[in-house]
Chains A and B, each alone.
Chain A
């Protein structure tokens, strides 16, 4: 895996139901940093990720962002962020402490009106690649596998 690259694992979930006219993406990724980074780098990553994602979706023809949410769980706490209005920008909350970040699990949920699921997924990958910016590596997992394991 090359730093800053984003693997295009086709098994990442895109729900079949284009429920109520919304394109939906739900996915889980493993986020790593080599060397480890401070929490400000993670905060920048999440902000850029959500902002870029919203702009990509709108550029591709979405007429409304339903919500864009992410959650990053690490050994030293969690970070969560959401964006519903691209002009207002993302809201971030974290309790990560000052530990250097090396790896964690990133959960992303995007619901967008006026765009199909395939396009929303493409936007997620573009945004993740752009936000990783050489400091971080994002590897998407199969959330189907995760759900089956949970059962």
Chain B
């Protein structure tokens, strides 16, 4: 079971991209499940997906990376048992940490036959209000970008050139290794390449991430 996380701060375009990706995978005949996590008790997004004929499992009122990580593992086990999806699209809350979501999904392996792998972690950054984000929630956005494999500078159709430059600089500063791409997911610009990346590329497991982090700490200590 392959987990594809679409992350990013609130209002960055996660649900819009998820709908596009889900439709694209479905048209290719790929069995796909969707898990949406909101910190509110009711989700508007699940109703929107329902209108579009897509069924999503909601995990409301708690963050799957920390507060309700056990529920995520249970939900994945149930999904595996019932529909054996090839892909599970996960949209965490707008404040979740991707590596902690990875860890939570890998818990599933302890309770059944599922073997978890990860598609690239895609993190969206809203270029149109980058200035405001950096002033109010810089740390949260920075930590999300740090763990991305692909950073999508979104809303390029409405952001001015200064905002775009600022978004690129901030993204690169937060994550020196991620691929940075521009998109307007509302207008489906740049989204085909993201679907291809989800299908073809891999991201490290939590264990590997943890091992690498440990190794780095040991190196720093030895230096």
Residue B215 is within 8 A (CB to CB) of chain A in the complex: no
Is B222's beta carbon under 8 Å from chain A? no
Task: Report the minimal beta-carbon distance from A97 to chain B, rounded to whole angstroms.
Answer: 14
Q: Is the interface of B mostly helix, strand, loop or mixed?
A: loop
Interface size class of B (residues with CB under 8 A): 20 to 34
Does chain A have a CB within 8 A of B126?
Answer: yes
A13-B42, A24-B39, A71-B48 as given contacts; A64 in contact with B136, CB under 8 Å: yes
- The CA of A107 and the CA of B45, in the complex, are separated in Å by 10
- Could you say which residues of chain A place their CB within 8 Å of the CB of B204? none
Interface size class of A (residues with CB under 8 A): 35 or more
Q: Is the CB of B51 within 8 A of A24?
A: no
In the complex, residue of chain B having the shortest beta-carbon distance to the beta carbon of A78: B51
Q: Which of B44, B63, B135 contacts A107 (CB 8 A)?
A: B44
B-chain residues with CB within 8 Å of residue A85 when the two chains form the complex: 11, 128-129
Check B41–A111 contact: CB distance below 8 A: no
One of B11, B39, B60 near A84 (C-beta < 8 A)? B11
Task: Given A15-B61, A84-B11, A84-B129, decide whether A22 and B95 contact each other with a Cβ distance below 8 A.
Answer: yes
On A, residues with C-beta under 8 Å from B are: 13, 15, 17, 19-20, 22, 24-28, 63-67, 69-71, 73, 78, 80, 82, 84-85, 88, 91, 95, 107-111, 113-114, 143-144, 146-147
Residues of B participating in the A interface, judged by any CB pair closer than 8 Å: 9-11, 38-45, 47-48, 51, 60-63, 67, 93-95, 126, 128-129, 132-133, 135-137, 140, 158, 186
